[in-house]
Structure 1
Amino acid sequence: MNPSEKGWLKEYIKFRGPHPIDFLQYQIKDQDNLLYKIVQPTGLIYGHPIHAPGIRHPKEQRWNSLGKMKIVLLESFLHSASLKQEVLPTTPNDWQDFYLETSQSIGQFYSVLDPQIRKKAFFIFGKRRKDEFRFAEQVLHKRLFLKSRWDHFWASLFQNSLLFLDTYYFGEWKTARFHNMKWHKDAMKILLLKVIAAAAHANQIIEREEKNMFFTFLGSSNLTKSQNKLAKEAFRDGISLDQIDLRQADTWLLKKYVLELAILMIWADKVVSAEERAFLSELARRLGISEEELDISLIAIESFVIENWKEVYFLQSKHSFQLISETMTTRITFVLQQHKGSIAKEIKSNSELCSLFEKSKNQQLTEDEQKKMKSQLIEILKSIPAFVTIALPGSFLTLPTLLKILPKDVFPSGFQD
């Protein structure tokens, strides 16, 4: 199976069929939080899809970047749709039918957003198409096949950033929540453009990176001429948060998305100035998001970049890695300090971990014991409410790093010595 070849969608569904989607593993009940937890590590929110949620295809490493992105988007659609099911399938056959029906409906979904899309794609190489699977394949390809801006990482992040909105609205379309979904999505795109324009002006200096990012996002928004003109004027003249109606972001997930795109814009030069932090704090306040959750969003983005460093090859400069890792470490340390009471309680209730701490006072732990200590400390971090919905960079959080960032008074007495 190769996502670059005709007929890949049916082949992938055959592979996917026997494997159910397991939401219980996430231990999150709220649907918005759960979709964020599933999709955030994929990179889809940041317009840079890398890893699909759920099961991995054995031939994934052989696919090109466009093929991988198709699977990320498809899997995100499947997860978003299944979250909206009142009753999940129970048998392999039921799951197979669900995957088939959901993947076939992708073309119908995009036809609602763009009524002309079916006419545009109705003839391929002069042949009339009737196969909904083939139509879905073509639509996914068209949705992803945009001109890339690989010359600049942060601009490229915005290249496909609207794919996350597709995932979100696909699930809502399944429930018929919106009377006019196309209008709502277009309004969200305009809101997002205004927010990132305001973010670019937060420190009164428009960086080249910020200009690249704004126009990359604008180019992929598919707005009308009049809407494009208004967006360009907002970026050229500047716009404040007071001038932006944020009510369109009416769910926790849309608010989170608005905030994280603003962070990406501000974070383009890898530095968040005092004025830019004040802007983000004010945006978070207006969205009803706490200061701690703002820090978590910053950590989520930094964690994604650090964890996927090899894949984001255009970011691989020692200085950038050091700067990003240092700011993330400082931020995590600050958040952990706010939760040291619950961390200490978790450590004390873990008898195996406590015995490893005691043993380490007198002798060197074996490699396996150190790995066990690391994994259990990371599990404790994941239990903290602040970190429940994001993917922490496990490869970056080595045992020495964990021992450095955790508050000293959460450890058993004598261990630090």
Structure 2
Amino acid sequence: MINPSTSGWIDKFFAEQKFSKEAVSTDIAVFYQKVRNTGFIYGHIISFDTSKPIETKGWFKEEISKVALLNTLYASFCLDNHDIRAENFIKQAVAFYNQMHPQGFNLFKKILPKNSPSLTLEKIIDERVQTNDSIINKNFSHLVTNALLFIDVLAFRQYLIHGQIPEKYLQKIEETIINIVTIALRVKSKKSQYDDLLIKLFEASIRYSKFNKVSVQSLETIQFSYFTNDLEKYYLIDIAGMALWSDEKIENDEIYFLHSLAEILSIQDSFVDESIQSTHLFISKHKKEIPYFNYSNPVKHFYDQTTQSVVTLISRNKNRLIKEIVQSKELMILLTYSTRRDLDEKEKKKVKKQLLEICKTVPSLAIFLLPGGSLLLPILIKFIPQLLPSAFNENLEENE
């Protein structure tokens, strides 16, 4: 199984998948449908369109996004030139990202010349899927989930076709998406609590242009002539449909809006009908898993997300963590006491201090060493009983 957080994962991905010419899409509509089915278009990835299934249990969302972005870029590479060689794709992908140079996107400073193309691409993808830290720290939302990642795929295809990214392409498509979403939300007969949040979500996902709150007033004033590729048009319609779905019902005016957009883009009405149905089925089925639709108290949401991250880190390092705890006799005694009575303040301080020392020996738990990291120790302590040997878990004792 690949680990997207350690070096060499791209080479291992291709080694495990062993893609064949029969496995890749050569039809644009089929390609787009497969990508949409994975949730990549909606910013909530539920699967990968790969030759062999990939187990993602215990993965962070960013790790899932990494593999999804790599796999979708590769599928786009295979779409037109019928070349399935991973080494050729990797070279093209690195050259593509080297040409981007988006505003405020300084990942290239982190790339060392001595890296192989695959390791270089790993660093690029790792930086690309990072969310906007300042937004997260500001409102604790954790809702900035790469909602516009598919733009990279569209730009990559432009690069493959023209040998370069068309001038201001990234900026223009981002601005077009924001304008369409803004107009779509205006059309809605019933406003929902998610409307403003959706704008903020897209605003925070923008990387190549400055967000302009002064938007166009109608579809007719948007310069759609710049977009001639069906993939771009499909994506714009789906994004508009997703914006309209937030109240869980598409009214006649909203349907008319989508068909008007399709007419301007020269896309058949049948695609609009399919888009509405696909969007409804996907979001209805996965609504409880999509943070955007479960956003209530931002602080609580942040705590829940942090707790889940800590649980994942602990699970990955369970064996090593148990070994370190067992070797600390005083900590073991105090943890045993804690299963029978509440620890006093002095004992709690000892537990926290020794757990912090243990965390120093587990690199991926370095989060606890950061300023304020000790605040997460109660979360770690909460899950300690699940990690201790079965002899310390009273729930597993057999009835005599």
Is the Cα–Cα contact under 8 Å of residues 107 and 136 in structure 1 kept in the other structure? yes
Q: Which residue of 1 aligns with 2:194?
A: 209
Distance 1:276 1:158, change over 3 A: farther
Is the Cα–Cα contact under 8 Å of residues 155 and 169 in structure 2 kept in the other structure? no
In 1, Cα distance between the equivalents of 2:232 and 2:127? Answer: 24
In 1, Cα distance between the equivalents of 2:20 and 2:61? Answer: 26
Shift of 1:311: 4.9
What pairs with 1:230-379 in structure 2 (closer than 5 Å)?
231-234=212-215, 239-306=217-284, 308=286, 311-312=289-290
For 1:169, give the aligned amino acid. Answer: A
| Superposed CA offset, 1:73-104 (max 9, x none) | 1111111101121x54xxxxxx5xx1123134
1:242 counterpart SS class:
helix
Q: CA RMSD in A?
A: 3.3
Q: Which residue of 2 aligns with 1:320?
A: none
1:172 counterpart SS class:
helix
In 2, Cα distance between the equivalents of 1:60 and 1:279? Answer: 38
In 1, Cα distance between the equivalents of 2:61 and 2:290? Answer: 12
Is the Cα–Cα contact under 8 Å of residues 201 and 239 in structure 1 kept in the other structure? no
Identical pairs, percent: 21
Q: Which residue of 1 aligns with 2:180?
A: 195
| Superposed CA offset, 1:373-400 (max 9, x none) | xxxxxxxxxxxxxxxxxxxxxxxxxxxx
Distance 1:100 1:162, change over 3 A: same
Q: Which residue of 2 aligns with 1:8?
A: 9
Is the Cα–Cα contact under 8 Å of residues 156 and 213 in structure 1 kept in the other structure? no
Q: Give the structure-1-normalised TM-score.
A: 0.61
* Structure of greater Rg: 2
What pairs with 1:85-104 in structure 2 (closer than 5 Å)?
85=81, 87-88=82-83, 95=84, 98-104=85-91
Is the Cα–Cα contact under 8 Å of residues 48 and 156 in structure 1 kept in the other structure? no
Distance 1:215 1:21, change over 3 A: farther
Give the paired residue count. 289
1:214 counterpart SS class:
helix
Is the Cα–Cα contact under 8 Å of residues 189 and 221 in structure 1 kept in the other structure? yes
Q: Which residue of 2 aligns with 1:162?
A: 148
Distance 1:248 1:62, change over 3 A: same
In 1, Cα distance between the equivalents of 2:106 and 2:293? Answer: 40
Shift of 1:296: 0.7
In 1, Cα distance between the equivalents of 2:286 and 2:120? Answer: 32
Equivalent residue in structure 2 for 1:64, among 43, 50, 60: 60
Distance 1:176 1:223, change over 3 A: closer
Distance 1:257 1:115, change over 3 A: closer
Is the Cα–Cα contact under 8 Å of residues 47 and 158 in structure 1 kept in the other structure? no
Is the Cα–Cα contact under 8 Å of residues 46 and 158 in structure 1 kept in the other structure? no
Q: Which residue of 1 aligns with 2:392?
A: none
For 2:179, give the aligned amino acid. Answer: K
Q: Which residue of 2 aligns with 1:19?
A: 19
Distance 1:223 1:232, change over 3 A: farther
In 1, Cα distance between the equivalents of 2:161 and 2:113? Answer: 31
In 2, Cα distance between the equivalents of 1:158 and 1:33? Answer: 28
In 1, Cα distance between the equivalents of 2:147 and 2:102? Answer: 22
In 2, Cα distance between the equivalents of 1:55 and 1:199? Answer: 37
Is the Cα–Cα contact under 8 Å of residues 184 and 244 in structure 2 kept in the other structure? yes
Distance 1:208 1:223, change over 3 A: farther
Deviates further, 188-197 or 307-316: 307-316
Q: Which residue of 2 aligns with 1:141?
A: 126
For 1:210, give the aligned amino acid. Answer: D
Is the Cα–Cα contact under 8 Å of residues 21 and 79 in structure 1 kept in the other structure? no
Is the Cα–Cα contact under 8 Å of residues 50 and 72 in structure 1 kept in the other structure? no
In 2, Cα distance between the equivalents of 1:266 and 1:133? Answer: 39
Is 1:34 the equivalent of 2:37? no
Shift of 1:312: 4.2
In 2, Cα distance between the equivalents of 1:313 and 1:159? Answer: 9
For 2:166, give the aligned amino acid. Answer: M
Q: Give the structure-2-normalised TM-score.
A: 0.63
| Superposed CA offset, 1:226-254 (max 9, x none) | xx2xx3112xxx61122222212212221
Q: Which residue of 2 aligns with 1:342?
A: none
In 2, Cα distance between the equivalents of 1:160 and 1:119? Answer: 17
In 2, Cα distance between the equivalents of 1:118 and 1:129? Answer: 21
Shift of 1:145: 1.7
Distance 1:279 1:314, change over 3 A: closer
Shift of 1:217: 0.8
Higher relative contact order (CA 8 A, sep 6+): 1
Is the Cα–Cα contact under 8 Å of residues 110 and 117 in structure 1 kept in the other structure? no
